[in-house]
């Protein structure tokens, strides 16, 4: 079927464009680092607040507001609004931790990738659902204790009281802990930095989770996004029926399967309704549109 194949330049061009947009978004979310005044973006991406950032991912803000006993209207509005209109679009085009995974993917492209079975995908996704549910429940529990003035109970949870998942999240490790390590005097200060001394076991746990995330992503494209990221879990549910989506024109489709081969989220596109890919995993990255030799994959709105 090779004669059906379009020149790969379509896909390469699209991926280059996407990487460019991801970098621009990364800069916009970290303006403080570039010594430009602050904007405050709240987006459905996996980006913690750090000393460099001029933004905060909606899930991090959601935790912060819940633990402070504030009704989290802004992050909820961000999730519902973007989810209903764009689905997981920001996962492909704007998330800094998504960009990090894509870069890892490019750098490790010589390593053979694995595509787990549908059953494995579903089972592993339950871990992400657990992380999401447990984080929200725990944040609410802390918020209730804050509202009731139960200071002793709140303080007992130490580093977990502000944003519980940020303590373990690999993106928080990448975008806050690692820069701070170097910003505050380099690796030689590693063992005397008071916070690391206070939470040393947590630090090693974070490092372990971070390395685990890297290994997963090297062998399975966007492995963290597929299964473990709470933002992906929430946006997947809210964005499954989003206005923006990808459809397949069955009168043009020759079932060559190229679209499935390139899908970074491992979606079995041909088993979805032709009208729209209704998958919690679709990030609207457009790779399938770019690669289709028959122009059968189409961007749909509504």
- By beta-carbon proximity to ligand SF4, the closer residue of 65 and 231 is 231
Report yes or no: 300 and 87 within 8 Å, Cβ to Cβ: no
- By beta-carbon proximity to ligand SF4, the closer residue of 12 and 254 is 254
- By beta-carbon proximity to ligand SF4, the closer residue of 45 and 167 is 45
Angle (CA) 150-147-64 rounded to 5° is: 105
Rounded Cα distance, 267 and 262, in Å: 9
Rounded alpha-carbon distances, angstroms, from residue 247 to 15, 140, 153, 214: 20, 39, 51, 32
Rounded Cα distance, 210 and 204, in Å: 10
- By beta-carbon proximity to ligand SF4, the closer residue of 195 and 252 is 252
Give the nearest distance from C-beta 248 to ligand SF4 in angstroms: 5
Give the nearest distance from C-beta 203 to ligand SF4 in angstroms: 21
Give φ, ψ of 17 to 5 degrees: -60, -45
Give the nearest distance from C-beta 142 to ligand SF4 in angstroms: 23
* Cβ contacts of 214 within 8 Å, gap of 6 or more: 104, 170
Rounded alpha-carbon distances, angstroms, from residue 165 to 16, 30, 183: 32, 21, 23
Give the nearest distance from C-beta 247 to ligand SF4 in angstroms: 10
- By beta-carbon proximity to ligand SF4, the closer residue of 146 and 224 is 224
Give the nearest distance from C-beta 20 to ligand SF4 in angstroms: 17
- By beta-carbon proximity to ligand SF4, the closer residue of 47 and 146 is 47
Residue ranges in contact with ligand SF4 by CB under 6 A: 45-46, 91, 95, 97-98, 224-225, 229, 231-232, 246, 248, 253-259, 263, 265, 267, 269-270, 277, 282-288, 292, 294, 296-297
Beta strands in 8-150 (DSSP E): 41-43, 55-57
- By beta-carbon proximity to ligand SF4, the closer residue of 138 and 258 is 258
Report yes or no: 264 and 224 within 8 Å, Cβ to Cβ: no
Rounded alpha-carbon distances, angstroms, from residue 4 to 148, 256, 258, 292: 66, 8, 10, 9
Residue nearest to ligand SF4 (CB): 232
Rounded Cα distance, 168 and 82, in Å: 26
Retrieve residue 41's tokens: 């973006």
Give the nearest distance from C-beta 179 to ligand SF4 in angstroms: 18
């Amino acid at each position: 079927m090779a004669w059906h194949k379009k020149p790969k330049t379509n896909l390469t061009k699209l991926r280059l464009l996407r990487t460019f947009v991801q970098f621009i978004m990364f800069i916009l979310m970290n303006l403080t680092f570039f010594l430009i005044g602050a904007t405050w973006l709240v987006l459905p991406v996996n980006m913690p607040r750090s000393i460099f950032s001029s933004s905060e991912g909606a899930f991090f803000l959601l935790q912060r507001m819940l633990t402070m006993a504030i009704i989290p209207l802004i992050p909820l509005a961000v999730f519902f609004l973007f989810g209903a209109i764009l689905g997981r679009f920001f996962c492909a085009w704007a998330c800094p931790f998504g960009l990090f995974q894509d870069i890892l993917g490019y750098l490790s492209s010589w390593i053979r990738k694995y595509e787990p079975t549908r059953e494995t995908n579903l089972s592993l996704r339950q871990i992400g659902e657990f992380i999401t549910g447990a984080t929200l429940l725990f944040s609410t529990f802390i918020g209730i204790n804050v509202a009731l003035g139960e200071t002793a109970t709140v303080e007992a949870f130490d580093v977990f009281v502000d944003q519980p998942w940020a303590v373990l999240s690999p993106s928080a490790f990448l975008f806050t802990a690692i820069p701070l390590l170097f910003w505050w005097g380099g690796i030689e200060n590693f063992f005397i930095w008071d916070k690391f001394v206070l939470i040393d076991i947590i630090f090693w746990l974070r490092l372990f989770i971070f390395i685990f995330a890297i290994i997963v992503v090297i062998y399975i494209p966007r492995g963290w996004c597929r299964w473990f990221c709470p933002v992906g879990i929430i946006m997947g549910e809210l964005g499954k029926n989003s206005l923006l989506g990808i459809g397949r024109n069955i009168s043009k489709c020759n079932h060559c399967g190229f679209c499935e081969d390139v899908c970074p989220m491992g979606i079995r596109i041909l088993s979805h309704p032709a009208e729209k890919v209704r998958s919690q995993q679709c990030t609207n990255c457009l790779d399938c549109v770019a690669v289709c030799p028959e122009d059968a994959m189409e961007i749909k709105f509504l």
